[in-house]
Amino acid sequence: MRKDVRILLVGEPKVGKTSLIMSLVSEEFPDEVPLRAEEITIPADVTPERVPTHIVDYSEAEQSDEQLYQEISKANVICIVYSVNNKKSIEKVTSHWIPLINERTDKDSRVPLILVGNKSDLVEHSSMETILPIMNQYSEIETCVECSAKNLKNISELFYYAQKAVLHPTGPLYSPEEKEMKPSCIKALTRIFKISDLDNDGILNDNELNFFQRTCFNIPLAPQALEDVKNVVRKNMSDGVKDNGLTLKGFLFLHTLFIQRGRHETTWTVLRRFGYDDDLELTQEYLFPLLKIPPDCTTELNHNAYLFLQSVFDKHDNDRDCALSPDELKDLFKVFPYMPWGPDVNNTVCTNEQGWITYQGYLSQWTLTTYLDVQRCLEYLGYLGYSIIQEQESQAAAFTITRNKRIDLQKKQTQRSVFRCNVLGVRGSGKSGFLQAFLGRNLARQKRIREDRKSYYAISTTYVYGQEKYLLLHEVLPDFEFLSEADLACDVVCLVYDISNPGSFEYCAKVYKKHFLDSKTPCVIIAAKSDLHEARQYYSLSPLDFCRKHKLHPPQLFTCNTDEAPSKDIYTKLTTMAMYPHAKLRCMCSCNRCTYCICHNLLNSELVRSVKAKLYSAVLNRHVTQADLKNSTFWLRASVGATVFAVLGFAMYKALLKQR
């Protein structure tokens, strides 16, 4: 709502403009009336709407036309005062004052007008018969009030209606000529209905109506009041109530009724609670609440935000197939003024065989938007009504801001859940295939992707030591000379070359030496298209020798030319490296065949598991009693036995390795 209201009183001389103001302030009719009252400010705490109100008087004797024009331009509402016993002053309303005001205001933002019939104490008849045709002729006239400054009749009501005309204007909501709500109002209320329809069945049941009532007015409806509301709708329209719940038509009818009965403040309370301004547009404060993000920090959705997004998905997944069909996705985004996701999203996240976004892909896309453009995500959550449904101050409550990466490196641990991997390589090296393989698509499926729907991002989940993490792959355009800081800022780097192209590796080597040689960012070289014949690279060092020289992992063989979905092992390794960039996870046995040496995970090896199984079998064969099991000597012997087997296994492994 507005922070204050400015009311201007105009009209012919001697109609009682100044008397009305002085009677309001002093609560008695003044003995002496000046030519013009000074501007008066009524504090917020004594006004019905709790908004400071400025009342401005106009005097033809004291003010020039230019001063009048300035006051008209500053006014939020104008009261045109006439005398009910003076026909000439009534005629001047249409012949002079309304045309003058309209000339000085924009056609698209006309100031609301209140017609004020003063001196009603001097006549026994009403002027309404004369005034009603005028009100019907000019849509900017909000209402007409007859009053008496002398008898203090309707004085406070006059200024209340003037306040109301500014704070709860009828113009944006309703068309008096057509006697129905305006399209922009219907659109806003339809969005509000869809947000409030928590199960998406097209009906507001009693629980949803109570939640809506509590959200907007801070009090629930009594059961009888609920029934009364539905009965009013039933009497006036056959399809307004269905299965004892309120349909969209019934919801819109109720608000039309409120407006027609002069209770448009009820509709405005609802609209403003859901973020709308006086022009029925969502406010910037609602869509973009303040969210400060320190440098070198990232943004992630928190647990409550994921629960909310999950409920939105479930609400629109009508066939319960854990994927959103095009129609279901369109229905989900009906509360948006535009379609936020383009066709490229289907090649950014996981989809099912029909190309529909899966539940995992849906959450991945939200995670991607949060990471890359948190302001856009704030806007999207605003359209979905996050702060209202979750009963939060704003959608800023949906985000976690991670700590500075330097602190993660110092502490050698991180609480982050999203990690970025930039993928670099020359054109045709296999970068796009590497991204799409992460989404489970082999070469055959990738060939069906249209060029105009290609995505330079791919995001999905991986598991590192049992924890679910998001890995975001970004394909960087191969312009060696113009790599920006954004192209280089990431948690792990993939340098991709085509093993069948002899000129492919040189780009990877140059990029590494120029940008990542002295960087703390982990780097991995991917030998893509490993199903093809390997060509000797033109670069002075072979890829393997280059990795040995710079103490990198050996080139990782990769192909997406498979019958099934490509392996995801490499993506798990990338996520692990991004999580633990400080760890020296290099091959300890110099076998050059593994990223993480088997020696590093010896206790989890097949050999040790086999030894443990045999030991357990032996224990069972001896029919160990409960007393034996509790005996500490027994467990000491078992532990020593397991250790001996492990050492023997390690020795055997090294012997086999030497033979190879």
Instruction: Name which residue leads in pLDDT, 60 or 638.
Output: 60
Contact partners, residue 117, CB within 8 Å, separation at least 6: 82, 83, 84, 127, 131, 144, 145, 146, 147
Residue 238 reports pLDDT greater than 70 = yes
Residue 240 reports pLDDT greater than 80 = yes
State the average pLDDT over residues 525-538: 95
Show the tokens assigned to 613. Answer: 């199984």
Contact partners, residue 429, CB within 8 Å, separation at least 6: 496, 497, 498, 501, 504, 507, 528
Show the tokens assigned to 367. Answer: 């995670």
| Whole-number Å distance between alpha carbons of 246 and 213 | 13
| Whole-number Å distance between alpha carbons of 196 and 381 | 15
Return the pLDDT at 106: 80
Listed range (110-124, 476-490, 565-579) with the worst mean pLDDT: 476-490
DSSP notation for 599-646? TTTGGGSHHHHHHHHHHHHHHHHTT--HHHHH-HHHHHHHHHHHHHHH
Q: How many residues are recorded in the chain?
A: 660
Return the pLDDT at 648: 57
Instruction: Name which residue leads in pLDDT, 206 or 129.
Output: 206
Specify the pairing of strand 174-175 against strand 180-181: antiparallel
pLDDT digits (tens, 9 = 90+) for 377-405: 999 999 999 999 999 999 999 999 999 98
Which phi and psi (to 5°) does residue 399 adopt? -115, 150
DSSP notation for 471-502? EEEEEPP--GGG--HHHH-SSEEEEEEETT-T
Specify the pairing of strand 203-204 against strand 245-247: antiparallel
pLDDT digits (tens, 9 = 90+) for 267-281: 999 999 999 998 999
Return the pLDDT at 179: 84
Listed range (97-111, 543-557, 624-638, 639-653) with the worst mean pLDDT: 624-638
Q: What is the DSSP letter of 221?
A: P
Residue 592 reports pLDDT greater than 50 = no
| Whole-number Å distance between alpha carbons of 328 and 342 | 15
Domain at 413-579, CATH class: alpha beta
Residue 497 reports pLDDT greater than 60 = yes
Taking all residues of the chain, what is their mean pLDDT, rounded to a whole number? 87
State the average pLDDT over residues 594-610: 41
pLDDT digits (tens, 9 = 90+) for 293-317: 998 899 999 999 999 999 999 999 9
What residues are paired with 471 via a beta bridge? 419, 460
Return the pLDDT at 295: 86
Q: 466-490 in b/e burial notation, b at 16+ Cβ within 10 A?
A: eeebbbbbbbbebeeeebeeebbeb
Q: Assign 657 a pLDDT band (cuts: 50, 70, 90).
A: very low
Contact partners, residue 610, CB within 8 Å, separation at least 6: none
Give kind and range of the element (H or E) at residue 399: strand 399-401
34 in the Ramachandran plot: left (φ > 0), alpha (ψ -120 to 50) or beta?
A: beta
Amino acid identity of residue 144, one-letter, is: C
Q: Where are the alpha helices (DSSP H) in 439-567?
A: 443-446, 485-488, 505-511, 543-549
Asked if residues 497 and 527 have their Cβ atoms less than 8 Å apart, the reply is: yes
Quick one: fold of 289-402? Answer: Recoverin; domain 1 (1.10.238)
Q: Assign 202 a pLDDT band (cuts: 50, 70, 90).
A: very high
Return the pLDDT at 644: 55
Residue 613 reports pLDDT greater than 90 = no
**Fold match, 180-281 / 289-402:** yes
Domain boundary assignment for the chain: 5-167, 180-281, 289-402, 413-579, 618-657
Residue 50 reports pLDDT greater than 80 = yes
Asked if residues 426 and 418 have their Cβ atoms less than 8 Å apart, the reply is: no
What's the CATH superfamily of 5-167?
P-loop containing nucleotide triphosphate hydrolases (3.40.50.300)
State the average pLDDT over residues 110-132: 90
Nearest Cα residue to 386 out of 403, 368, 370: 370
Residue 603 reports pLDDT greater than 50 = no
**Other CB atoms within 10 Å distance of the CB of residue 222:** 10
| Whole-number Å distance between alpha carbons of 241 and 205 | 10
Residue 637 reports pLDDT greater than 70 = no
Return the pLDDT at 495: 96
Q: Assign 136 a pLDDT band (cuts: 50, 70, 90).
A: confident
| Whole-number Å distance between alpha carbons of 492 and 420 | 7
**Based on the number of CB atoms within 10 Å of its own CB, is 638 exposed (0-12), middle (13-18) or buried (19 or more)?**
middle
Residue 223 reports pLDDT greater than 70 = yes
pTM of the model: 0.82
In this structure, CATH architecture of domain 180-281: Orthogonal Bundle (1.10)
Q: How many CA atoms lie within 13 A of 554 on its CB side?
A: 14
Return the pLDDT at 412: 84
State the average pLDDT over residues 329-354: 95
Q: Residue holding tokens 């859940």? A: 417
Asked if residues 462 and 575 have their Cβ atoms less than 8 Å apart, the reply is: yes
Residue percentage of the chain with pLDDT more than 70: 87
Residue 467 reports pLDDT greater than 70 = yes
